[in-house]
Structure 1
Amino acid sequence: MKPELVVPAGDFEALRAAIWNGADAVYLGGKKFNARIQARNFGLDELEQAIRYAHNRNVKIYVTVNTLIADRELNDLDDYLTNLHHLETDAIIVQDVGVLKLCKELHSDLRLHVSTQASVCGISGVKFWMDQGAKRATLPRELSFEEIRKIKEKNGVEVEVFMHGALCYSYSGQCYLSSFLGERSANRGRCASPCRLPYNIITGNGTTLRTDGPHLLSMKDLNLSEDIGKLVSAGVDALKIEGRMKIPEYVAVVTGIYRKLIDDDYRQPTHAEQKELEAIFNREFTKGSLYRYPGGKAINSGRPSNRGIEVGAIVGYDESFKKVSILFSEAIRVGDGLEFMTSFGYKGLVLTKLFTGGRRTSEILPKCVGELFLPFQPIPNSFVRKTRDSSLHEKARATFSNQESIPQIHNSKINFNQSRGYERLSSLVLTTKNEQTKKSSKICVEVNTLDSIRHAIKAGADEIYFGGFPEFTKNLDLNNYRQAIDIANESDIPITIVLSKMMGNDEHLKEIITTLKSEGADKFLVGDIGTLELVKQMGLTAYLDSSLNVFNRVARNLLFKSTERMTLSHELHLSQVARIAGGAPGEIEYIVHGPLVLMLSEYCPVSNAINSEDKISCRKTCNEKGFYLKDKRDLLYPVKCDEFSRTNILSSKDICLIEHLQELKAVGVDIFRIRCQLFKPNMIPELVKLYRTGLSIDNIDQGEDESLVSLKEKILKLSDRKTFEGKINTGIE
């Protein structure tokens, strides 16, 4: 059976383009609960028309409900899902485990697909979602062919992979840079695309490294048109095209080519087909992580936008008339978009007038010289690129523009006034914390060196988290872990080992946990569902890190069945923290100080600059010298490698919530975590002391020396890193 071709649609015109060019299924979003909220999208009435239109042509519709959902939205979500069921939606695509649980309990007839936003990387993670009722998993684009094959082989579930389109620099669902820079969270569908902005690489001594371009996080586009047969051999059930923000012509061209490749028994694309894929949109193409570690080779630092195709070179420029002469290698015509290199960067225009030999023409053939007037001066002898192919656009539009009109719905199945009230959800969100087992507030210190452990113990930390960004260069330095566990045990301080997140290889991860267990580790901080499941299966204790994005009480209650402690998302407003922490059946943790991980990636912007493709040597250089990304505002973001050479981009400022300790304590936070990986060990005792003092203040008096404000002032003197308060006051959209 051939794999399903799953195609994006940001509006009804793109839906028609998808259907009339061979889509088996179309995924699209509503006006809310949608990770591409900036697309035109579909209102409920439009969704009904879209589903009717698609079903009449034997095409399925998958509706994205792939954002994190706040408690205040659960009632609206329940109503929305009810309508999606009435409209006979073929499946919904979800990110939030709370939505998964809500659907299982209240909307069991809805078919569930797991979004790539859920960061489901391994066999155990996929199994968790399937056990909760999901039927298909859209795997992260970072997985290799072998990892995809094993997930399918071991679980036997439906597997969907992206094969064409834009790539995110960070693992989907693990990018917080957009919300750090403003209130626009990628996990709420409002990503501001900060990965497409310019940056510099700065060394620890302040030197700026030379790079090929400034767009150091801007990924090339995925193109696996040559690898369809390979993916099918791995058991992939559905092949997906990215592009709900793209124009209908893009959808038509890309869908049509992949349709032909699938129908022709997964043949290789022709030169002409590859050229059309380039011409309609490309940032250069990459195969991502499918076969090998890409390092920085999957990044197009030169430009973040469509680069089109090269169509000629400048052979002359008359400055007095502002007329440029171009020797074209490809046909060009009026209506095409051309782009030129100038001393001020790339500049482009749409051709309205075109000349050859001094005569006006509508088209110029290859190997001919054409002239046109420019409002800017291009660089002499530079190449010219075509970024809009009017002929290709017309050809694409002809495939769907003359088809039937949008169907009129006379007997709508939508109920706009159906709300059944919050009582229906009460069993999913309510639980009561056992106050007899509730302990006093504890300070947990997260460190990554042995010296830091000693200073944290000396400071009176209640618990230690060890790991994260090691100074050692081996993939797993057992001697370091052994010493860390021994140091903590000698002082009778609980120690928890921080495990790397998003590990696609379950077998390797299990070996790591088994090895650490043999050295005395029995508690682990985990950052994804798959690792949680593995640790639980091995009879060990797992605490949940903030990267699991617990955003509502339904998710809280579901995950507390597998853990006794969870760290809440740092994108939450204080009022949301209160809702989730209140009545929680286990310990609630919150990161109150230190750098936040804003991006986790398989791709390294530094490796290109230092010309390294070897993981071990690259990580050694990175952690020894220290590198930073510098943005246009001169903010410095530390770049750190974990033990398995994934790039972690940290916040340019430390979160500092010492002025909010009493509020967090009052709403039910039990564990206050201080992340000290960027601090000198001798700073840790004073930092812990200040937070201990802050937790002991019951009555905040701004006039006292030890008020929370004065504690904040003392913290600022400890480090040259600036601080911010996260989203505790503002939340995110």
Structure 2
Amino acid sequence: MMKPEVMSPAGYWPQLQAAIEAGADAVYFGLKHFSARAKVGFTLEELPEVMRTLHQRRVKGYVTFNTLMFDHELLQAARVALAIAEAGADAFIVQDVGIARLLQQLVPEIEVHGSTQMSITSAEGVELARQFGVSRVVLARELSLKEIAAIRAATTLELEMFVHGALCVSYSGQCFSSEAWGGRSANRGQCAQACRLPYDLLVDGAPRPLGEARYLLSPGDLYALHEMPAIVQLGVSALKIEGRYKDAAYVALTTAAYRKAVDEAWAGLPLSITPYEDLQLTQVYSRGMGPYFLTGTDHQAVVRGRAPRHRGVLVARVVKVLTESILAELDPAAAASPLKPGDGIVFDAAAWRSPEEPEEGGRVYHAYPALHGLVELEFGYDAVDLRRIRPGDLIWRTLDPELERAVRPLTQPASPVRRQPVVVHAVAQVGEPLVLTWQHGELPALRVTVRSPEPLAAAERRGLTEALLHEQLGRLGTTPYYLAALNYVAEGNPFVANSLLNQLRREATDLLAELQGQPAPIRGGDPAAVLAQMTPSRPVAHAAVASPTLHLLVRTAEQLEAALAARPASITLDYLELYGLRPAVEQVQAAGIEARVASPRVLKPDEQRIVHFLRKLDCTILVRSTGLLHALREAAIPRLVGDFSLNAANMLTAQTMLELGLARLTPTYDLNADQIAKLAAELDPDLLEIVAYQHLPIFHTEHCVFCRFLSNGTSYKDCGHPCETHRIALRDQQGRAHPVMADVGCRNTVFNAEAQEASRHLAAWRTAGLRHFRLEFVHERGEEVARVTDAFQATLAGTMTPADLGRHLQQITPQGTTEGSLFVPDGYATIPLM
């Protein structure tokens, strides 16, 4: 078992330097494109200097190449990837399966790490990633330590886990809220953070008061520092700190804290985390911190819901509002760093104020001790409107000047904080040049040798001693090195001037740094040639377009009854309770219709019963996760159809998935209608199944809204299963009610209120050869299922125009319709393929 890397984020140079000085083993960062954090990153031209800086400090650099990529981007992506490899990157972090395969062919010397956006939650998912050329997998943040241990025991591939920072409410790679509501793909670095907005809860159609918990999809931040003794025993390769949008102070403090904790835990020492260090980490950035899923499921803890943004440290509660000041009761948990002048604070009035109202806050001008252990706070003139503050409001410190001073040695060091050991072998012989060999690291060590320009003369009085040599060579204050050992061999009594030793020391350290910073040579392929080799030849154009085929997906018995009456080519059952599926499957099969069952989108180590159950159903499975795909592909199942959640956004990924045994594949919802048509032209259109009507699944989350707000339980074990008896929806600020449904793993999917429909694009899709279309229903009644299906059947048969279909669907659906992710921006169709 190896000591895990401490892996830090870097949005740009200040954060990268802070990570180095604080003791990171590796830093991950993105470029200005092909990165899931589109607002930050380095340019490709800066990358050689970035890698040189990291390697000179013995830190690895991993480049986030982790967006889904479109077909017309593949050649550019390949060229950029080659340049990244040539600049000396130690690894790529990727989400796109096709890109992983491309990198394996293009630059096989460079490691490929599977991003958390691959949604890998099981050993099966890890093993499938291995087949794509991935050498390390970043596991989903929703896994517990027990589940990670089970995955570790079942695979030899390197594993990486998050230990600190923001949590997404949705599984990474499975969030389409930005796509649905703004045409911005979270899978392409454009997350709009809809999870951080306030929502009303509707239970069986009626509003349910939430009190202060209006931000019911906004989780707290992960904080696993105190779990480090258990974590280092897991055998994971890297511990990841989230935060490429965070500042240098955040990177410095978190990196230093986890560096110390990992070192102590690895040495078997007790953790020496002080209350003040805990407060510092909370102060620098926090929405409320805890280990959350790492220590097991507790749906009451993950989302508090009071606020969606940085709160800092809870320091006090308002007791009384005076004319020009307030009296507050200090929070005991903040005793290690009490309120003081200069602190920036915010008053949290979530219990009575609307989330839409701005919060009150400002800088503390004076903080006086008052009676009964209270503190009186005064503020600058007009800095705080005391009329908007009430007794009971919480007081959070959002800014602490002391923290700025504490972190300055790491963010603005006068000389390197983290240094590397060097061993110097010195040979000084009268009549011969002085020879100094500087060695850094273990075998294979880096070595440089420097020599004096002239032979050494004999000393008239005092010659060169080991002590003098150690003193002069050890003056390495502005370099990233320290002299760990000196081996001195002398013959005679040689004389060496201090100026010569200083010159040779500078020459040696410059050479050593240059040698460390040189990128390893790679044997990269030609991007165009590699792509051409991986890309199948285009199929021969069809002489006639085959007849269209309609597939329905239903989630209730009432919907199933309507679907059976419509007699589509297939009916997919997507039920909350898997074990009630067999009678429904038999009912569909008895009607002479292909029966299909939708798998869960997540498979965890303790959910193998789901795999066994699906194997026994003797019907087609709609596969929604790579873990289940790996588990089911060898089983005797009639057919496997890949769903949107496999995130096939380009020809390489689609081809990869189909080669794994899928009969058909639904592309990711990141593609618009024009891109779907182009993918069909590049591939065989008969291998694609397109969703033409649905409520887009905008969030897929481990956090259960049913358990959190309709029970006092912490998990399915004690929640009473309100998901089986109640319907809930989340109403946004525009008044749209988004249905929420639970699956067999108690995970929730939030669906878009409006129905996304493809009437404007059916003609173009049919021209492209597409013929498999799926209609998916959420909370629709049986009558609505019948009317929607009838309208599509009429349109595909040619007895209703697409325009009439669109108008008809608008009238049927209670909350209207939208093009949603299918929308094609003006001019988009002119973008060429690669």
Tell me the TM-score normalized by structure 1.
0.90
Between the aligned partners of 1:442 and 1:187, the Cα distance in structure 2 is: 30
What's the counterpart of residue 555 of structure 2? 448
What's the counterpart of residue 376 of structure 1? 385
What's the counterpart of residue 504 of structure 1? 604
What's the counterpart of residue 690 of structure 1? 791
The one-letter code of the counterpart of 2:413 is N
What's the counterpart of residue 403 of structure 2? 392
Between the aligned partners of 1:427 and 1:305, the Cα distance in structure 2 is: 48
Structure 2 residue 519 is the aligned partner of structure 1 residue 518:
no
Structure 2 residue 645 is the aligned partner of structure 1 residue 547:
yes
Between the aligned partners of 2:339 and 2:409, the Cα distance in structure 1 is: 20
What's the counterpart of residue 612 of structure 1? 712
The one-letter code of the counterpart of 1:219 is P
Could you say if the C-alpha distance between residues 295 and 610 of structure 1 is closer, same or farther in structure 2, counting changes exceeding 3 Å? same
Deviation at 1:258, TM superposition (A): 0.9
Between the aligned partners of 1:83 and 1:181, the Cα distance in structure 2 is: 35
Could you say if the C-alpha distance between residues 144 and 731 of structure 1 is closer, same or farther in structure 2, counting changes exceeding 3 Å? farther
Between the aligned partners of 2:296 and 2:646, the Cα distance in structure 1 is: 27
Deviation by residue 1:221-265 (Cα, 9 ceiling, x = unmatched): 111111112122222121111011111001111111111111112
Structure 2 residue 199 is the aligned partner of structure 1 residue 199:
yes
The structure 2 residue matched to 1:347, chosen from 346, 359, 371, is 359
The one-letter code of the counterpart of 1:688 is T
Could you say if the C-alpha distance between residues 13 and 651 of structure 1 is closer, same or farther in structure 2, counting changes exceeding 3 Å? same
SS in 1 for 2:820: coil
Greater Cα shift, 201-210 or 375-384: 375-384
Deviation at 1:323, TM superposition (A): 4.0
- 5+ unaligned residues in a row in structure 1: which ranges? 359-365, 698-704
What's the counterpart of residue 702 of structure 1? none
Could you say if the C-alpha distance between residues 489 and 357 of structure 1 is closer, same or farther in structure 2, counting changes exceeding 3 Å? closer
The one-letter code of the counterpart of 1:375 is V
The structure 2 residue matched to 1:709, chosen from 803, 810, 817, is 803
Between the aligned partners of 1:291 and 1:357, the Cα distance in structure 2 is: 40
Task: Check conservation: 2:365, 2:377, Cα contact below 8 A.
Answer: no
**1:177-576 pair list within 5 angstroms:** 177-265=177-265, 267-268=270-271, 269-314=273-318, 317-319=321-323, 322-324=324-326, 330-341=337-348, 344=353, 347=359, 349-351=361-363, 353-354=365-366, 369-373=376-380, 374-377=383-386, 378-380=389-391, 382-403=393-414, 422=528, 424-433=530-539, 439-467=546-574, 469-470=575-576, 475-477=577-579, 480-505=580-605, 508-509=607-608, 511-519=609-617, 521-540=618-637, 541-562=639-660, 563-576=662-675
The one-letter code of the counterpart of 1:721 is Q
Task: Check conservation: 1:333, 1:351, Cα contact below 8 A.
Answer: no
Could you say if the C-alpha distance between residues 213 and 588 of structure 1 is closer, same or farther in structure 2, counting changes exceeding 3 Å? same
Could you say if the C-alpha distance between residues 619 and 458 of structure 1 is closer, same or farther in structure 2, counting changes exceeding 3 Å? farther
Tell me how many residue pairs correspond in the alignment: 704
Deviation at 1:381, TM superposition (A): 5.9
SS in 2 for 1:582: helix
**1:120-131 pair list within 5 angstroms:** 120-131=120-131
The structure 2 residue matched to 1:729, chosen from 811, 816, 823, is 823
Structure 2 residue 60 is the aligned partner of structure 1 residue 57:
no
SS in 2 for 1:192: coil
Between the aligned partners of 1:728 and 1:58, the Cα distance in structure 2 is: 47
Deviation at 1:70, TM superposition (A): 1.0
Between the aligned partners of 1:291 and 1:178, the Cα distance in structure 2 is: 30
Deviation at 1:104, TM superposition (A): 1.3
Between the aligned partners of 1:394 and 1:456, the Cα distance in structure 2 is: 66
What's the counterpart of residue 35 of structure 2? 34
Task: Check conservation: 2:737, 2:753, Cα contact below 8 A.
Answer: yes
Deviation by residue 1:649-693 (Cα, 9 ceiling, x = unmatched): 011111111232121222232310001232222333332221122
Greater Cα shift, 576-585 or 551-560: 576-585
Deviation by residue 1:391-410 (Cα, 9 ceiling, x = unmatched): 11221122231356999999
The one-letter code of the counterpart of 1:71 is D
Greater Cα shift, 597-606 or 250-259: 597-606
Q: How much identity, in percent, do the aligned residues show?
A: 27
Between the aligned partners of 1:27 and 1:661, the Cα distance in structure 2 is: 43
What's the counterpart of residue 439 of structure 2? none
Between the aligned partners of 1:518 and 1:559, the Cα distance in structure 2 is: 23
The one-letter code of the counterpart of 1:460 is R
Between the aligned partners of 2:341 and 2:92, the Cα distance in structure 1 is: 43
What's the counterpart of residue 148 of structure 1? 148
Which protein shows a greater Rg?
A: 2
Between the aligned partners of 2:294 and 2:165, the Cα distance in structure 1 is: 14
Could you say if the C-alpha distance between residues 289 and 51 of structure 1 is closer, same or farther in structure 2, counting changes exceeding 3 Å? same
Between the aligned partners of 1:347 and 1:92, the Cα distance in structure 2 is: 41
Greater Cα shift, 345-354 or 722-731: 345-354
Task: Check conservation: 1:252, 1:397, Cα contact below 8 A.
Answer: no
SS in 2 for 1:534: helix
Deviation at 1:309, TM superposition (A): 1.5
Greater Cα shift, 323-332 or 264-273: 323-332
Could you say if the C-alpha distance between residues 247 and 547 of structure 1 is closer, same or farther in structure 2, counting changes exceeding 3 Å? same
The one-letter code of the counterpart of 2:302 is A
SS in 2 for 1:44: coil
The one-letter code of the counterpart of 2:534 is L
The one-letter code of the counterpart of 1:605 is V
Between the aligned partners of 2:591 and 2:310, the Cα distance in structure 1 is: 58
What's the counterpart of residue 766 of structure 2? 665
SS in 1 for 2:607: helix
SS in 2 for 1:198: coil
Could you say if the C-alpha distance between residues 332 and 512 of structure 1 is closer, same or farther in structure 2, counting changes exceeding 3 Å? closer
Provide the aligned C-alpha RMSD in A: 3.0
Deviation at 1:303, TM superposition (A): 0.7
Deviation by residue 1:449-484 (Cα, 9 ceiling, x = unmatched): 3443343232121111112x43xxxx532xx32222
- 5+ unaligned residues in a row in structure 2: which ranges? 417-478, 480-509, 829-834
SS in 2 for 1:559: helix
The one-letter code of the counterpart of 2:363 is L
Deviation by residue 1:303-333 (Cα, 9 ceiling, x = unmatched): 11122223345465443xx444556664444
The one-letter code of the counterpart of 1:484 is A
**1:583-594 pair list within 5 angstroms:** 583-585=682-684, 587-594=687-694
SS in 1 for 2:161: strand
The one-letter code of the counterpart of 2:131 is D
Deviation by residue 1:146-168 (Cα, 9 ceiling, x = unmatched): 22112211111111000111000
Deviation at 1:619, TM superposition (A): 7.5
The one-letter code of the counterpart of 1:26 is V
Between the aligned partners of 2:821 and 2:392, the Cα distance in structure 1 is: 50
Could you say if the C-alpha distance between residues 594 and 312 of structure 1 is closer, same or farther in structure 2, counting changes exceeding 3 Å? closer
Between the aligned partners of 2:265 and 2:626, the Cα distance in structure 1 is: 36
Between the aligned partners of 1:528 and 1:316, the Cα distance in structure 2 is: 55
The structure 2 residue matched to 1:642, chosen from 734, 737, 743, is 743
Could you say if the C-alpha distance between residues 355 and 302 of structure 1 is closer, same or farther in structure 2, counting changes exceeding 3 Å? closer
The one-letter code of the counterpart of 1:543 is V
SS in 2 for 1:672: strand
Could you say if the C-alpha distance between residues 103 and 716 of structure 1 is closer, same or farther in structure 2, counting changes exceeding 3 Å? same
